[in-house]
Structure 1
Amino acid sequence: MNSHSKTVAKNAAVVGGATLASRILGFLRDLIIAFALGAGPMADAFFVAFRLPNLLRRLFGEGSLTMAFVPVFTRTREDSGEAEAHTFARSALVWLVLILGVITACAGLLAKPLVLVVAPGFADDPQLVAVTAELVRICFPYIIFISGVALCMGILNSSGHFLAPALAPCILNTVLIASALAGVAMGWSVPHCLAWGVVLAGLGQWLLQQPYLARLGFSWRGPWSFSNPGVKKTGKLMLPTVFGAAVYQINIILGTVLASFLAVGSISYLYYADRLVQFPLGVFGVAVSTAALPSLSLLAAKGQMDDFRQTLSASLRLTLFISLPAAAGLIGLSEPIVSLLFGRGAFSAEAVSMTAWALVGYGVGLPAFAMVRPLVSACYALQDTRTPVRAAVVSLLVYVISGVTLMQVMDHVGLALATTISSWVNAGLLLRGLNRHLGRWADFWRQVALFVALSLVMGAAAWLTIGLGRWAVALVPLWGVGYGVATWLLKVPEARMVVDVLRRRLGR
């Protein structure tokens, strides 16, 4: 394992630790929202309204901007120096604000049509459409702030700083918790309080990044240009990456569209289940890809392809080492987990059961969800934007076909399974595409087979405890330790690497 792989693991630990704090706050946020709104029409209205700027966040933020920005920023700094890289970053922000400002204004004017596009099933309830449109107008400016945060993340990550961007979601969760509690305590409209909270949280996340940028010697005051060559290069890279990200977001929108034709609450069941899957995905999967992108970009810029292959392979092994047992645990303990976190207040026993089944559908795809991020990062580091686009288009077609088919017999669970199927297809196509650049680089299949076997044993053992109800969740640390000890005794390198990183972090 080379030094770059160890750097990725160390930085992934930083991102993962900060993301863990964010996810814990996120669960508390979802618990409070579930208590206040349940899984009824007002909850659906807020989730649809919040989803619109969130979709664009993924489209213009980490979905395409960060992926295209980091390799260009890294190469600009290597070739032309720090000052030119900073000029490029300032120029990128100007373009970002202009483009997203126009989009935000259009969204305000076309809020109702947007709602009907995203959730056509709402058309039979004009009042629900009107409320959702109001929420869209309130929270849509969030996209400007959060995309600016994504740009800050690219600058900081390229400079080896990962903590502040990873902590940014904590601001969002804290503000939304306060907004929901204020709405309940004061008797105000909770969805409207949450929408205003989204905008305030976006501003707070932006402000959090600024002191850390200043410590690196970066300032938004300084030279910039509409015709900066770095911006032009990023724009060219973003054209296909925006399309690829758009395909992925269309996948999400189609899921909402299809779910809106199912029973009331289906959108919320899928939302809460997705939030649970996002916990390990964010803490480990996204953390690895976030940490890997700057290292891969630097190696590609220097032409060190052997180290590139080793670093990418190590990133994938680490991702699967963690995501496979996490998937097994979520599937085996789906109902106790949902019941413990959400089963109170307006969240009924039926909602618990429906959400748990959706969690099972998503859980099977968790390793694929986690693999896609570092694989896409590797493609962008190589400035190959075509492979992710082609893979995304094919996976979208797979999602539509499988989703429409499976929802006929499995309702919302069919949509969750369709997401899983399309994600595995996406991961397979990305692996195949990278083989064209790197040759046979994936040297981890025997180890992955071991991870799968141990995860299945752990998941089956956890499933046998569901008779304990919510108390079964208390045994999760036991299963995690058991998996860790087994891999340590079998001398799995990832187990030793994780222990070494934890030792260094705790030693500090």
Structure 2
Amino acid sequence: MSNAELPSSPSPEKPAKPRSLLRSSLLTGSMTMISRVLGLVRDIVLASVLGAGGAMDAFAIAQKIPNFFRRLFAEGAFSQAFIPVLSEYREKGTHAAVKELVDKVAGCLGSILLLVTVIGVVGAVGFAYIFGYGYADEPEKFSLLTDLVRITFPYLMLISLTGFAGAILNSYDRFAIPAVTPVFLNIFMIAAALLVADFFPNPAYALAWSIVAAGIFSLLFQLPFLRQIHLLPSPKLDWSHPGVKRILVLMAPALFGVSVSQLNLLLDSIIATILGDGAVSWLFYSDRLVELPLGVFGVAIATVIMPGLSRLSAAQSGEKFSQMLDWAIRFVVLIALPATLALIILAEPILYTLFYHGKMESSDILMSSYSLKAYALGLFAFMLIKVLVPGYFARQDMKSPVRIGIIAMFANMLMKPMVVIPLVILWGMGHVGLAFTTAMAAYVNAWLLYRGLRRAGVYTPAAQWPQIWLRYGAANLMMVAVLAVFLLLWNGWHEWSVLERVLRLAIICAIGFATYLLMLFAVGVRLRDFKAQQ
């Protein structure tokens, strides 16, 4: 974008002083933690009310469809194109220019979302067939899936506009409000399952309507905070606005890149529906547990660094740009490695503690534990991708992640038949193959993203990385040893009461966490090592 497009006087909304990346990340992470913990409560309730298979399979697929398009249009391609342009307007233009951009983008985005929503509601049968191909021969389940798709599809428009509002707030360092907003979805779903599910012919209908209600509330909740920074949108349809055109240009490759990852998820969903009752549910429950650390820390770090990287890129501060990326990668290593190891070692205890009640059976827990371990193998890569991709998008380089995403997609597709088919034939656990290949493809993606940043010269690792690996490695080894001992001593998780499972798991997690922190301190890691400025 040329400077001629931007009025020259500075925006009055620029922050007066830099903020600590650690403080901002912890703030965002703490808000997200509340949401994720409530999400776990929600999933516990879902497991009790719906179990695994049948209605739960249909509901899990129906929920994926609006989320698929949301990630495609809003949280994915749109936000990756919108935030760098908004940051550039903010850095080089006036507040009036920023407000005009927000108004025009709101009008254009809203019109696209409305059209897609109408198509989704009218064509619910077609979407149900695409995403739930394996259910086409089961009339009752397919009919339920179609109804749920029709009910939940408007959530796409609502949550996408919520994401648009959140992107503006994040760009102005108002991280807490967008981070806490997902709490409402969990609250609404829990309330629906516990209070109104009995009034519907199937509890899944109550949950579907609660999703729409949560979308409405989430959007309305953010509007007063946009008014506080004088950026409450007044939607105007103007496709010729320079900022809108710039976003569209950036969105094109980004949309294709996000489509690649979403196509992988779509392929997994289709294959899972073919694998029979329970496969979709087992993947759902195990994926939710991997999403906890990914959402709390990976997404939080990415959310915090994206506006900062965009501003540093616009200001041509290359050294600080590299330092911010290095900080983010170091934080990922600190969190992802112990989380990965803990999820693999404690897969069954965690699943038994959270989900073994109501309609859930011991066999469902066992099958979910296998896919949880497979997904957990990729947690480190999933989190790395979250923080490496902003290194490209902040510089308005949308093509490189697309090219890398395509390579990762083909790697995933090549691995699936080699892994899934043998697992189906030998042990009937094809869903584990889906999770494993997704994890391995994430490593391909993360490595290529990392190599690209190094080759472009925009990221240079700090000199302390050999010491960092040794220190974190020692702390993780000690934690693993402690967890393994407890797991050998306590092995009757399916026999104990809910209270006993909760207490024992809490003890194991607390001691494992304390061991990790003490070892980090013993090898010289300090909190000040993670202090950085935005």
TM more than 0.5: yes
Is the Cα contact below 8 Å between 2:107 and 2:236 reproduced in 1?
Answer: no
Is the Cα contact below 8 Å between 1:39 and 1:268 reproduced in 2?
Answer: yes
Q: Which residue of 2 aligns with 1:143?
A: 156
Q: Which residue of 2 aligns with 1:451?
A: 472
Q: 1:116 to 1:453 in 2, by over 3 A?
A: farther
Larger displacement relative to structure 2 (95-104 or 178-187): 178-187
Q: 1:456 to 1:111 in 2, by over 3 A?
A: farther
Over aligned residue pairs, what C-alpha RMSD do you find?
A: 1.9
Q: Which residue of 2 aligns with 1:423?
A: 442
Is the Cα contact below 8 Å between 2:381 and 2:442 reproduced in 1?
Answer: yes
SS at match of 1:171: helix
Q: Deviation string for 1:66-102 (max 9, x for gaps)?
A: 1111110010122221111111111111111111111
Q: CA deviation at 1:154?
A: 1.3
Is the Cα contact below 8 Å between 1:87 and 1:222 reproduced in 2?
Answer: no
Q: 1:434 to 1:142 in 2, by over 3 A?
A: same
Larger displacement relative to structure 2 (47-56 or 206-215): 206-215
Is the Cα contact below 8 Å between 2:108 and 2:237 reproduced in 1?
Answer: no
Residue 454 of structure 2 is aligned to residue 435 of structure 1: yes
Identity over the aligned pairs, expressed in percent?
34
Larger displacement relative to structure 2 (106-115 or 324-333): 106-115
- Report 1:79-90 matches (<5 A): 79-90=92-103
The unaligned stretches of length 5 or more in structure 2 are 1-15, 424-429, 494-500
Is the Cα contact below 8 Å between 1:244 and 1:389 reproduced in 2?
Answer: yes
> Which of 339, 345, 354 is equivalent to 2:352?
339
Q: Which residue of 2 aligns with 1:348?
A: 361
Q: Which residue of 2 aligns with 1:504?
A: none
Residue 322 of structure 2 is aligned to residue 289 of structure 1: no
Q: CA deviation at 1:449?
A: 4.6
Residue 319 of structure 2 is aligned to residue 306 of structure 1: yes
- Report 1:309-324 matches (<5 A): 309-324=322-337
> Which of 511, 517, 524 is equivalent to 1:491?
524
Q: 1:169 to 1:235 in 2, by over 3 A?
A: same
Is the Cα contact below 8 Å between 2:117 and 2:154 reproduced in 1?
Answer: yes
Q: Which residue of 2 aligns with 1:160?
A: 173
Q: Deviation string for 1:197-242 (max 9, x for gaps)?
A: 1111111111111121111122223877332211111111111111
Residue 492 of structure 2 is aligned to residue 479 of structure 1: no
Q: Which residue of 2 aligns with 1:196?
A: 209
Q: 1:487 to 1:253 in 2, by over 3 A?
A: same
Q: Deviation string for 1:308-342 (max 9, x for gaps)?
A: 00111111101111111111111110000001011
Q: Which residue of 2 aligns with 1:465?
A: 486
SS at match of 2:225: helix
Q: Which residue of 2 aligns with 1:241?
A: 254
> Which of 388, 391, 401 is equivalent to 2:414?
401
Q: Deviation string for 1:397-454 (max 9, x for gaps)?
A: 1111212221123321111110110000000010111123225612364213532443
Q: Which residue of 2 aligns with 1:325?
A: 338
TM-score by length of 1: 0.94
Partners of 2:173 and 2:200 lie apart in 1 by 46
Is the Cα contact below 8 Å between 1:44 and 1:265 reproduced in 2?
Answer: yes
- Report 1:15-164 matches (<5 A): 15-164=28-177
Larger displacement relative to structure 2 (401-410 or 73-82): 401-410
Partners of 1:5 and 1:387 lie apart in 2 by 30
Partners of 1:93 and 1:440 lie apart in 2 by 34
Runs of 4+ with deviation above 3 angstroms = 3-6, 183-188, 221-226, 495-498
Q: 1:441 to 1:224 in 2, by over 3 A?
A: same
The unaligned stretches of length 5 or more in structure 1 are 502-508
Partners of 2:369 and 2:485 lie apart in 1 by 16
AA paired with 1:479? Answer: G
Is the Cα contact below 8 Å between 1:213 and 1:219 reproduced in 2?
Answer: yes
- Report 1:192-231 matches (<5 A): 192-221=205-234, 225-231=238-244
Q: 1:52 to 1:146 in 2, by over 3 A?
A: same
SS at match of 1:227: coil
AA paired with 1:82? Answer: H
Is the Cα contact below 8 Å between 1:358 and 1:412 reproduced in 2?
Answer: yes
Q: Which residue of 2 aligns with 1:14?
A: 27
AA paired with 2:370? Answer: W
AA paired with 1:436? Answer: R
SS at match of 2:358: coil
AA paired with 2:451? Answer: R
Residue 400 of structure 2 is aligned to residue 387 of structure 1: yes
Is the Cα contact below 8 Å between 1:399 and 1:418 reproduced in 2?
Answer: yes
Q: 1:354 to 1:176 in 2, by over 3 A?
A: same
Larger displacement relative to structure 2 (430-439 or 201-210): 430-439
Is the Cα contact below 8 Å between 1:5 and 1:315 reproduced in 2?
Answer: no
Q: CA deviation at 1:263?
A: 3.1
Is the Cα contact below 8 Å between 2:48 and 2:355 reproduced in 1?
Answer: yes
Q: CA deviation at 1:259?
A: 1.2
Is the Cα contact below 8 Å between 2:478 and 2:519 reproduced in 1?
Answer: no
Q: 1:460 to 1:395 in 2, by over 3 A?
A: farther
Partners of 1:439 and 1:59 lie apart in 2 by 27
Q: CA deviation at 1:105?
A: 1.3
Is the Cα contact below 8 Å between 2:105 and 2:235 reproduced in 1?
Answer: no
Q: 1:369 to 1:4 in 2, by over 3 A?
A: farther
The structure with the largest helix share of the pair is 1
Partners of 1:149 and 1:332 lie apart in 2 by 37
AA paired with 1:312? Answer: L
SS at match of 2:75: coil
TM-score by length of 2: 0.90
Q: CA deviation at 1:299?
A: 0.3
Partners of 2:138 and 2:366 lie apart in 1 by 26
